[in-house]
Structure 1
Amino acid sequence: MIDELDREILRRLQNDGRMSATALAAEVGLTVAPCHRRLKDLERSGAISGYRAVVDPASVGLGFEALVFVTLAKVDRATMDQFEARVTASAHITSAQRLFGDPDYILKVMAEDLPAYQRFFDDELTNLSGVQRVSSTIVMKNLKPGAGLPI
């Protein structure tokens, strides 16, 4: 069971995943050993599922972001499984959610620029299995990239 102290640890780590156990302990009012135990318990329970670096897309040449709305022609297990496997395997699709209603999926796609996105759209998105309709919109400004959970 996650208590308020665990929630505070999670809030702090969402803002700075590289924070040392010593600094984290000081910020949440614990000594290092109990803080470290709680941290390990949160990792074991799956509350903390991993750590990663947040990379600025523009700094690695991915300055173009689009949201893609996908409606499947047929919504059955085989079609969804095949579609989801292809989406999961695509490096340019950085986020994907299955939705209730129409459309069936929303995808976040990163590309170098508009021509690169057009190639990806033409060569990959339109060739995904079971797709009836694909539409997209260009992201003008990302206001909350990678925002943490409201813990």
Structure 2
Amino acid sequence: MLDRIDVALLRMLRKNARLPNKTLAEKTGVAPSTALERIRRLHESRTIQGYHAEVAPAAIGIGLQAMVAVRLARHSRPMVDGFLDHLQGLREVLAFYHLAGADDFLVHVGVRDSAHLREFALTAFTEREEVAHIQTHLIFDFHRNTELPVYLQSPDLQSPG
């Protein structure tokens, strides 16, 4: 079970995963060895699943991003699993979500331009037999929320505000 120290460490790492252990310890009021051990346990328990670098899309040639809503023709485990494997193999796919509701997947893609998006949508989605329908939404701007909502029972663990 997480306590207030664990949650404080997670909140700080969510905002800046490159904070030195000394800073994490100071801001949580624990010894550096304690902070290091707690972060190690958060990794071992898979509470912390990894770190990533936020890269400016334009710096790597992504000129256009879109969310593609995908509706499958049928819903069988082999079809869903096959489509998941397909998505994981596409370099244009930045993230994807398996959904409940009218659409089955929401796929965040990054491409060079509108011609690249058109070609990608045709080959990655519409040419696949399990796909019944797609709808593409262009993304004008993207911002990641670095705040960490916490919905645990203890009042001292709740998100501030």
Would the TM-score normalized by the shorter structure come out above 0.5?
Answer: yes
Matches within 5 A, 1:45-56: 45-56=45-56
Paired position in structure 1 for 2:111:
111
Instruction: Name 2:153's counterpart in structure 1.
Output: none
Which residue is equivalent to 1:138?
138
> TM-score, with normalisation over the residues of structure 1?
0.93
> Which residue of structure 2 aligns with residue 20 of structure 1?
20
1:106-148: CA deviations, max 9, x gaps?
1111111111111111222212340011111111222x23645
In structure 1, the gaps of 5 or more residues are none
The separation in 2 between residues aligned to 1:23 and 1:147, in whole angstroms, is 18
Give 1:99 shift: 1.0
Asked if residue 102 in structure 1 is aligned to residue 102 in structure 2, the reply is yes
Give the partner amino acid of 2:47: A
Q: Report what 1:61 is aligned to.
A: 61
User: In structure 2, what residue type is equivalent to 1:109?
Assistant: V
Aligned residue pairs, count: 150
Pair 85,146 (structure 1): closer, same or farther in 2 beyond 3 Å: farther
Distance in 2, matches of 1:86 and 1:62, equals: 21
Aligned-partner Cα distance in 2 for 1:110–1:140 = 12
For 1:47 and 1:18, how far apart are their aligned partners in 2? 17
Aligned residues: CA RMSD: 1.4
Q: Secondary structure at the match of 2:74?
A: coil
1:72-127 Cα shifts (integer Å, max 9, x gaps): 11111111111111011111111111111211111111111111111111222212
Partner of 1:127: 127
Tell me the percent identity: 27
Cα 1:102–1:122 change in 2 (3 A) is same
Q: Is the 8 A contact 1:6 1:38 kept in 2?
A: yes
TM-score between the two structures when normalised by the length of structure 2: 0.87
- Runs of 4+ residues deviating >2 angstroms: 144-149
